[in-house]
Structure 1
Amino acid sequence: MDIPSGKKIYFASDNHLGAPTSKESLPRERHFVNWLGQIQKDAAAVFLLGDLFDFWFEYKYAVPKGFTRTLGKLADLTDQGIPVYFFVGNHDLWMNGYFEEELGIPVYHSPQEFQLNDRHFLIGHGDGLGPGDKGFKRMKKVFTNPLSKWLFRWLHPDIGIRMGQYFSVKNKLISGDEQAEFQGEENEWLVQYARRKLQQKSYDYFVFGHRHLPLDISLTPQSRYINLGDWIRYFSYGVFDGKSMTLEYHKKPL
């Protein structure tokens, strides 16, 4: 992707809209939609790196109720010709065509390589990567199993969605409380993952979410690992101006 002069690429992750309740997450949703409106004037593209929703499951003819402001704004961006790329997270991994068909947004279920101007990026949500996260790796195999998804679809949406929302909020990782502290480079499994990938191929930037903690770590003189933080506590996001990438912070909602 060639970035036009004066344009930027924006990255955001881990909004967990709908948690802990729709009412309580509404100010955060409005804040996020306000940010999308602000960046619209100079965005060459927007990357959303997962857990936009705290729970999302697509039935054949139904999706979870709510998120009208967010979905409408994303449609507005794509209608204006601004490409949006979505990477599923561990809370919204059950996507099955709705974003592509209704919003024109491609959805990725694994990390992807992008070349933005002359910089090479590896981008993803970050769950299940590296040597850690073993509990989630086992859980993800169950959740992504075709039989598991088929069985869940037989639940009426009123039951299935309510059940999914309940267990999703019960997951303590939603707030990042269990992972909010920096563990040191040697114990950050996404840093270890990035270092191993550098042994196979050169990248300028590794960009992930999932950790709920803004991080900008130099891996080599030419390569950096960036974690985008979240829109629960930090309201942090990434900006690439065509030459370098920075972490920035949106003003917290009142």
Structure 2
Amino acid sequence: MQLPPGKKIYFSSDNHLGAPTQELSKPRERKFLDWLDMVKEDAAAIFLLGDLFDFWFEYKHVVPKNQVRVLGKLAEIADSGIPIYFFVGNHDLWMFGYFEEELGIEVYHEPKKFEFNGKKFLIGHGDGKGPGDKGYKRMKKVFTSPFFQWCFKWLHPDIGVGIARYLSVKNKLISGDEDAKFLGEENEWLAQYAKRKLLKEHYDYFIFGHRHMPMEISVGEKSMYFNLGDWISHYTYGIYDGQTFELKKL
């Protein structure tokens, strides 16, 4: 993609809408809606890097009922011709076609390469990558098992969604937040993941979420790793203007 003059690419991650309760989440939801209205004015594309919701599961005929304003806003933006790319996170990995079919949003389950104005990006949520996150890696094998998903869908949505939302908030192993503190540039496992990727292929930028902390770490002579932070404590997001990438705070 070559950005048109005056256009930018925007990146956001880890909103966790619905946590810890729907009512307490509403002010954060409103901030995100206002942000979407702001960025759509000059956006060439919008990347959402997962954990938009604190829980999401698509049954065959049912999706969670909350955050309808967010879904409507995303549909409006996509219908206007601005592409939106969504990378599932560890809290909303059970996406099976609703975003693509109803909202016109591309959904990815693994990091993906992009090139903008000659710069190479590797973009993803970041869960289960690198040498850390061991507890969650074990749980992810269960969550992504077709048999487990088949079993879960047979629970009545009122029961299944209720259990999942409770565990999403209470169980740090399931949430992937067991290491939610800065580990130092040399020990940050997504930075280490980026360095390993550079052994095989050059990237200018690695853009991830999941860690809930805004970060900017050099991982090579001409390569940077950015973590987008979150919309719980930091309200940070990323912008690429065709020449440089930077983190911004609301």
What TM-score, normalized by structure 1, do the two folds share? 0.95
CA spacing shift, 1:23–1:47, aligned 2, 3 Å: same
**Paired amino acid for 1:23:** E
**1:243 Cα deviation (Å)?**
0.7
**1:180 Cα deviation (Å)?**
4.4
Q: How does 1:145-164 map to 2 (within 5 A)?
A: 145-164=145-164
Q: Deviations over 1:51-89 (max 9, x none)?
A: 000000000000011101110110111011000000000
Contact 2:122 2:207 in 1 (8 A): yes
Aligned to 2:191: 191
Contact 2:90 2:176 in 1 (8 A): no
Please state if 1:38 is matched with 2:38: yes
Aligned mates of 1:24, 1:80 — CA distance in 2: 31
Aligned to 2:227: 227
CA spacing shift, 1:174–1:143, aligned 2, 3 Å: closer
**Paired amino acid for 1:92:** D
Aligned mates of 2:184, 2:32 — CA distance in 1: 30
Please state if 1:134 is matched with 2:134: yes
Aligned to 2:20: 20
Please state if 1:210 is matched with 2:189: no
Contact 2:167 2:174 in 1 (8 A): no
The CA RMSD over aligned residues, in Å, is 1.4
Unaligned runs of 5+ in 2: none
Moved more, 183-192 or 230-239: 183-192
Aligned mates of 1:7, 1:175 — CA distance in 2: 35
**Paired amino acid for 2:61:** Y
Contact 1:56 1:94 in 2 (8 A): yes
**1:181 Cα deviation (Å)?**
3.0
Unaligned runs of 5+ in 1: none
**1:236 Cα deviation (Å)?**
0.2
Q: Deviations over 1:102-156 (max 9, x none)?
A: 1000110000000011100000000000011111111000011000000001001
Please state if 1:236 is matched with 2:236: yes
**Paired amino acid for 2:95:** M
Aligned mates of 2:181, 2:46 — CA distance in 1: 27
CA spacing shift, 1:173–1:150, aligned 2, 3 Å: closer
Contact 1:111 1:125 in 2 (8 A): yes
SS in 1 for 2:11: strand
SS in 1 for 2:128: coil
Aligned to 2:105: 105
SS in 1 for 2:201: coil
**1:163 Cα deviation (Å)?**
1.0
Contact 2:169 2:175 in 1 (8 A): no
Aligned mates of 1:216, 1:25 — CA distance in 2: 28
**1:2 Cα deviation (Å)?**
1.3
Aligned mates of 1:58, 1:12 — CA distance in 2: 22
Aligned mates of 2:184, 2:152 — CA distance in 1: 39
**1:245 Cα deviation (Å)?**
0.1
Aligned mates of 2:191, 2:129 — CA distance in 1: 10
Contact 1:216 1:226 in 2 (8 A): yes
Contact 1:179 1:212 in 2 (8 A): no
Count of residues in correspondence between the two structures: 250
Aligned to 1:171: 171
